[in-house]
Amino acid sequence: MSKKKENELKTRGVSNAKWGYLFILPFFVAYTLCTLIPQLMTFYNSLFMNYRDGLTQVGPKFVGLENYIKLFSPDNTGTIGILKYFGNTIILWLMGAVPQIIVALLLAVFFTSYRLNIKGQQFFKTVIYMPNLIMASAFSMLFFVLFSPVGPVNQVLLASGWINKAVDFLNIKISVRVLISLMNFLMWFGNTTILLMAGIQGIDQTLFEAAQIDGANSWQIFSRVTLPLLSPILVYTVITAMIGGIQMFDVPQILTKGIGMPNRTSMTMVMYLNNYLTTSKNYGMAGAVSVVLFIVSAVLSLIVYNSLSAQYRKPKRHRKY
Amino acid sequence: MMNDEQSRKARIQLMITRVVVYAILIFLTFLCLFFFYMLIINSTRSNAELQAGFSALPHGHFIENFKNAWTDASINIPRGMLNSFIIASCCAVLTTYFSALTAYGIHIYDFKLKKPAFLFIMAVMMIPPQVSAVGFIQLMYKFKLTNNFLPLIVPSIAAPIVFFYMKQYMESVLPIEIVESARIDGASEFRTFNQIVLPVMKPAIAVQMIFSFVQSWNNYFIPALLLDKAEMKTVPIMIAQLRSADYSKFDMGKVYMFILLAILPVLIVYLLLSRFIIRGVTAGAVKG
């Protein structure tokens, strides 16, 4: 590039700054209006008593941290609601995510293995990714009708003589949890497989060849080469799955009609938040629950942010100007 | 001799591994397809047939169930699908256009707040939308925007994840020379973006349009808090309504048909474009 042209570009760059601001303006205006201000309002609300009791509106009245104290004190049965629902969310997430990540890792290794040379990959990928795009609430409704006491699953079990009375799967703690995790597993393992496959394909192939020549077996190659080199992407996948897990709502909400049956053992954090927003319009308590959710997701986000920006700091292969 | 023996052993071992791997894949395929297969089969059976017992083969009541579901008095599914379609299409267009615009603004121009703006978007990328729901709902009640599609459409202008995807894509495909030559030809900055940059970004825009359409079509949490008028409801709200109704009194053939209708548009798009969509899953994600 000639000196003259470079100078010309520079001056143009300065006069063009306004275009940069103009182009990013809509994003920031929309973000401020739709997320930032509501976010601050949510924090602010958590310090007020503000709810509807039947037809009467109570508050808003400033109460300081009272909502938080209420949130973390035991109810008349001695359970601390938010801890129970946080626990439920983690259990439901783990039950779905652990098999999801193991299966996805396994499939990603299968699909990328030259030695195995799996045929029909496109077909398998198409099938396993499909549940990811299906409406979660409709998928959950489908599970509900299939597993209801008069549904086809019970019909088959009764007809085969394995049971002599219909099983109410939706009123047994363990079966509700298994159904929710099964749905989450089905919805996400395909997505994770595809992400991990891309990760494995990004690893320098000569490393695998070298390990093979040195006489490493498949397990050694997996544990000593694939896994360590895949770990940044694996961490990213696990953390984003956690952030998704915290938001778990549609599936348990529809399956259990919003009450987390039996006995609120499948009630998640966002279902709890939703309860405060719908029935009593209790903005104060809902605000406090949101702040707890925000803190948890902010900590997780920080980890993703660090891994992404570390990647961004890496020297770029080709700079444009 | 020894070598022959060894390679024979290795071949057998490989064969066994292959059989196990295919068995796992076939099992997972079955698991993924079984529930949808049941959905389709059951949508072809009448209520009486469904009560009578399980069947793995289709029956002849598909059209009848479709008519019953389509004209149902309490759940207006054609209206719901139209509403969902309007919202999802607007979201798809706004999200991709403004994300590309924002990414372009940060990618091409130099300005003081460029870096802070970029870091800010990265920082808020992973914060779930539910945590600002309280304030958002309150604000919408204040502005009398409940039972209105705007609060479901406008927020899609600011989509940090789509922005990140577009930024990544620009870094790999958009040569500055194209922009330079357009400028030299006297095109205004805005026209350069619309007529030169957008066409280059077409594949990224198409993929993100599909993803944001699907996301909006399936969205349940916020719409359920803002839409309560029958004629404004979207499909997921209707599905939830179906769940809270007394299902034992329902025509089950119709229930299966409702569920099928709720997922059908996305299913069709996916079957037509699966190759393209699957490629899009990774393109914007972390690159090594």
* A120 CB-side CA count, 13 A: 9
Kindly state whether residues B222 and B99 are assigned to the same domain.
yes
Query: From the candidates A135, A187, A242, which should be mutated to test the interface with B, based on the most B CB atoms within 10 A?
Result: A135
Q: Which chain B residue has the Cα nearest residue A270?
A: B130
CB A265 within 8 A of CB A91: no
User: Cβ of B157 and A257 within 8 Å?
Assistant: no
Residue with tokens 């001799």: B1
* Helix, coil or strand: residue B220: coil
Kindly state whether residues B171 and B245 are assigned to the same domain.
yes
Who wins on pLDDT, A45 or A319?
Answer: A45
Residue B288: inside a domain, yes or no? no
CA distance A212 to chain B (A): 14
- Measured CA to CA in angstroms, residue A270 lies from A214, A251, B203 at distances of 52, 11, 35
Which residue of B14, B244, B288 is in closest CB contact with A199?
B288
Tens of pLDDT along A109-136? 999 988 888 889 999 999 999 999 999 9
| Beta partners for residue A57, in sequence order | A52
Query: From the candidates B126, B172, B183, B276, which should be mutated to test the interface with A, based on the most A CB atoms within 10 A?
Result: B126
Q: Which helix (H) or strand (E) holds B176?
A: helix B176-184
Statement: residue A4 has pLDDT above 60: no
Confidence at residue B155, expressed as pLDDT on a 0 to 100 scale:
94
Interface pTM, i.e. ipTM: 0.90
Residue with tokens 């973000």: A31
Q: Which chain A residue has the Cα nearest residue B106?
A: A20
User: What does the block give as tokens for A313?
Assistant: 């700091």
Kindly state whether residues B7 and B142 are assigned to the same domain.
no
- Number of structural domains, chain B? 2
Q: Residue ranges of chain B with pLDDT lower than 50?
A: 286-288
Kindly state whether residues B111 and B234 are assigned to the same domain.
yes
Interface check for B85 against chain A (CB to CB < 8 A): the answer is: no
pLDDT over 90 percentage in chain B: 56
CA distance A74 to chain B (A): 24
Tens of pLDDT along B27-45? 999 999 999 999 999 999 9
Which residue of A34, A44, A118 is in closest CB contact with B136?
A34
Distance (Å, rounded) from C-alpha B282 to C-alpha B168?
11
Kindly state whether residues B157 and B234 are assigned to the same domain.
yes
| Beta partners for residue A74, in sequence order | none
Across chain A, which distance is largest between two alpha carbons, in Å? 89
Interface check for A254 against chain B (CB to CB < 8 A): the answer is: yes
User: What does the block give as tokens for A31?
Assistant: 């973000």
Kindly state whether residues B126 and B262 are assigned to the same domain.
yes
Q: DSSP characters for B120-136? A: HHHHHTT--GGGGHHHH
Kindly state whether residues B144 and B226 are assigned to the same domain.
yes
Residue with tokens 């289709």: B58
Which residue of B17, B110, B135 is in closest CB contact with A13?
B110
* Helix, coil or strand: residue A241: helix
Confidence of residue A42 (pLDDT cuts 50, 70, 90): very high
Q: Which residues of chain B have a CB within 8 Å of the CB of A116?
A: 14, 17-18, 21
Interface check for A27 against chain B (CB to CB < 8 A): the answer is: yes
CB A41 within 8 A of CB B134: yes
CB B58 within 8 A of CB B38: no
Who wins on pLDDT, B166 or A56?
Answer: B166
Interface check for B200 against chain A (CB to CB < 8 A): the answer is: no
Who wins on pLDDT, B159 or A236?
Answer: B159
Show the domain range for B132: 70-283
Residue B145: inside a domain, yes or no? yes
Tens of pLDDT along B233-242? 999 999 999 9
Average pLDDT over residues A44-53: 86
Confidence at residue A270, expressed as pLDDT on a 0 to 100 scale:
94
CB B236 within 8 A of CB B223: yes
Kindly state whether residues B276 and B147 are assigned to the same domain.
yes
CB B269 within 8 A of CB B210: yes
Kindly state whether residues B206 and B164 are assigned to the same domain.
yes
CB A229 within 8 A of CB A294: no
Interface check for A194 against chain B (CB to CB < 8 A): the answer is: yes
Q: Which residues of chain B have a CB within 8 Å of the CB of A194?
A: 278, 281-282
Confidence at residue A114, expressed as pLDDT on a 0 to 100 scale:
82
Kindly state whether residues B234 and B105 are assigned to the same domain.
yes
Kindly state whether residues B15 and B129 are assigned to the same domain.
no
Confidence at residue B283, expressed as pLDDT on a 0 to 100 scale:
61
Domains of chain A by residue range: 18-64, 67-313
Residue with tokens 């958002």: B136
Q: Which of B91, B127, B116, B125 is nearest to B214 (CA)?
A: B91
CATH number of the domain at B124, please.
1.10.3720.10
Confidence at residue A133, expressed as pLDDT on a 0 to 100 scale:
93
CA distance B243 to chain A (A): 7
Residue B224: inside a domain, yes or no? yes
Q: Which residues of chain B have a CB within 8 Å of the CB of A277?
A: 133-134, 137, 225
Show which of B44, B66, B88 is a domain's final residue. B66
Statement: residue A3 has pLDDT above 70: no
Q: Which residues of chain A have a CB within 8 Å of the CB of B262?
A: 135, 137-138
Confidence at residue B262, expressed as pLDDT on a 0 to 100 scale:
95
Kindly state whether residues B6 and B35 are assigned to the same domain.
yes
Confidence at residue B183, expressed as pLDDT on a 0 to 100 scale:
81
- Among A residues 37-76, those touching chain B with beta carbons less than 8 Å apart: 37-42, 44-45
CATH superfamily of A67-313: MetI-like (1.10.3720.10)
- The whole-chain average pLDDT of chain A stands at 86
Angle ∠(B2,B6,B11) on CA atoms, nearest 5: 150
